[in-house]
Amino acid sequence: MSAPPEMWWTSFLPLIIVGVVILGVLFLLVLGILMSRRVTITMRTGGAVALTLASILFLTGLWSMFLSPMATYQETKDSFYNAVLIDGLKTWEYTFSVQEGDTVGGSIGIRIDGGPNASGKTFNLRIYDANNNVVWSEANTTYSKYFNIRALNSGVYKVEVQNLNRETIEVYVQITISAKVTFRPLDPLGQWLSLISLPIFGLGVWASGLFAARQRKGEKELVKVDA
């Protein structure tokens, strides 16, 4: 599956956010200088400061949620760990479901302390994909190498172990199915910053008199209509 096309503005969005943050910091520095010189700060100025702070928090939250660096890890979806007895010249099978992109890993080996002749016994290993094609095989082995297979299609995979001996053998089977999970570590921080910016936005709008200015404008228009 191809990745969705990237919008043209996403390449400029980080620069825009950084620019707004820098302007906000400069504004706060200028405001600090004015306060240090005992310049009177009006409520409207305080509202502008609150709006600037809210904008910085909100834009930082958006960057954290949508543009911050990604991280990946392998999450185990299913696993099978067991000791299995396989009769002479018989085959043991294990099936499991996978999704495209999943990783199938594990190993299979004969228990060598099961008896005096256990070390001389061998088996064949085959792993089939959802289309019944062999994607991994080992012949005449006493202990399989650690297999690591990436599923190219979704469906039911099968592990097949064939006992090549007339005697029963005991094998240890370890199979894990895992998937790569991609996430943004800063996403929770971004959500928190975006939420706390909302009440600061409201406080800034109230203090700067934007609501009052709109209300007075509406009253003037109403008076003119009545006249």
Strand partners of residue 106: 147, 175
* Residue 198: predicted pLDDT: 86
> In the chain, which stretches have pLDDT less than 50?
1-10, 12, 211, 222-223, 225-226
Domain boundaries, the chain: 9-70+184-218, 72-183
Q: Residue 1 corresponds to which tokens in the numbers above?
A: 């599956």
CATH number for the domain whose boundaries are 72-183: 2.60.120.380
* Residue 164: predicted pLDDT: 93
**What helix, strand, coil percent values describe the chain, rounded to 5?**
45, 35, 25
- Confirm if 124 and 140 have CB atoms less than 8 A apart: yes
* Residue 2: predicted pLDDT: 38
26, 51, 219 from 207: Cα distances, Å: 21, 9, 20
* Residue 1: predicted pLDDT: 39
